[in-house]
């Protein structure tokens, strides 16, 4: 169970995918359940619920975190990005496009977590090596074992960006 965190005012004020929310429920939950049940964003998945699989990965104040291990109250005054926030009016995020092209999705359950880990990696390191990509995914498990295509997708994203795409 997440540690209980005190927060002022009995509400959680947070920004998710650029939109402000004032939540009056969900205080005792995990961040994962807050996002799914109170914010209504169900793209983030629950796999193990104990910090082992990475299906629940979101970006919290610029860092990839396993939201099943984070108390909901941590969302207060924080900036969160979920898989729903990757695409914009212009289209899919480059890493989403590359996942589609590389066939890096099988059942898809792990995909939101991998996408968020990949997105934050490419923000921190625009040209990561294969080892750095593997390192970034150490917290993400794929039950369908599609690791080669997932790494291929990230490499395609890097190549395309280097070519100016
Ligand atoms: S559901 Fe959070 S790490 Fe598995
Ligand atoms: S695509 Fe099925 S768990 Fe990864």
What's the gap in Å between 114 CA and the centre of ligand 2? 10
Neighbour order of strands in the sheet with 79-81: 19-23, 12-16, 79-81, 57-60, 63-66
Task: Give me the sign of the Cα torsion angle 146, 135, 32, 42.
Answer: negative
Q: Are 92 and 100 spatial neighbours (Cβ–Cβ below 8 Å)? A: yes
Torsion angle in degrees (nearest 10) through CA of 88, 101, 63, 29: 80
Tell me how far apart the alpha carbons of residues 139 and 100 are, in angstroms, rounded to a whole number.
22
Q: Is 143 near ligand 1, meaning CB less than 6 Å away?
A: no
What's the gap in Å between 18 CA and the centre of ligand 1? 24
Q: Is 46 near ligand 1, meaning CB less than 6 Å away?
A: yes
Q: Which atom of ligand 1 is nearest to the CA of 67?
A: 2
pLDDT at 1 (0 to 100)? 47
Question: For 124-159, how does the pLDDT look when each residue is reduced to its tens digit (9 = 90+)?
Answer: 999 999 999 999 999 999 999 999 999 999 999 999
Region class of 104: left (phi > 0), else alpha (psi between -120 and 50), else beta = alpha
Q: Which atom of ligand 1 is nearest to the CA of 46?
A: 1
Give the count of beta carbons closer than 10 Å to the beta carbon of residue 67: 30
Tell me how far apart the alpha carbons of residues 107 and 143 are, in angstroms, rounded to a whole number.
9
- Ligand lying nearest the CA atom of residue 47: 1
pLDDT at 164 (0 to 100)? 80
Question: For 66-92, how does the pLDDT look when each residue is reduced to its tens digit (9 = 90+)?
Answer: 999 999 999 999 999 999 999 999 999
Token pair belonging to 125 = 């390191």
- The confidence band for 10, taking pLDDT boundaries of 50, 70 and 90, is confident
Maximal C-alpha separation, the chain: 50
Q: Walk me through the domains of the chain, giving residue ranges and CATH numbers.
A: 8-82 (3.10.20.30), 94-162 (1.10.150.120)
Q: Which residue has the tokens 């917290």?
A: 139
Question: For 16-73, how does the pLDDT look when each residue is reduced to its tens digit (9 = 90+)?
Answer: 999 999 999 888 999 999 999 999 999 999 999 999 999 999 999 999 999 999 999 9
Considering only CA atoms, which residue is closest to atom 4 of ligand 2? 142
Close Cβ partners of 20 (under 8 Å, ≥ 6 residues apart): 13, 14
pLDDT at 5 (0 to 100)? 52
Q: Is 48 near ligand 2, meaning CB less than 6 Å away?
A: no
């Amino acid at each position: 169970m997440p540690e209980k965190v005190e927060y002022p005012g009995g509400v959680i004020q947070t920004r998710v995918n650029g939109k402000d929310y004032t939540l009056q429920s969900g205080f005792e939950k995990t961040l994962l359940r807050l996002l799914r049940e109170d914010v209504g964003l169900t793209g983030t998945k629950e796999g193990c619920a104990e910090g082992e699989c990475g299906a629940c990965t979101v970006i919290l104040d610029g860092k990839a975190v396993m939201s099943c291990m984070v108390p909901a109250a941590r969302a207060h005054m924080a900036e969160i990005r979920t898989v729903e926030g990757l695409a914009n009016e212009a289209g899919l995020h480059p890493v989403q496009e590359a996942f589609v092209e590389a066939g890096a999705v099988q059942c898809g359950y792990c995909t939101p977590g991998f996408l968020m880990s990949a997105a934050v990696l490419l923000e921190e390191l625009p040209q990561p090596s294969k080892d750095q990509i593997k390192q970034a995914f150490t917290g993400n498990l794929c039950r369908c074992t599609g690791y080669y295509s997932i790494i291929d997708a990230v490499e395609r994203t890097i190549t395309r960006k280097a070519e100016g795409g």
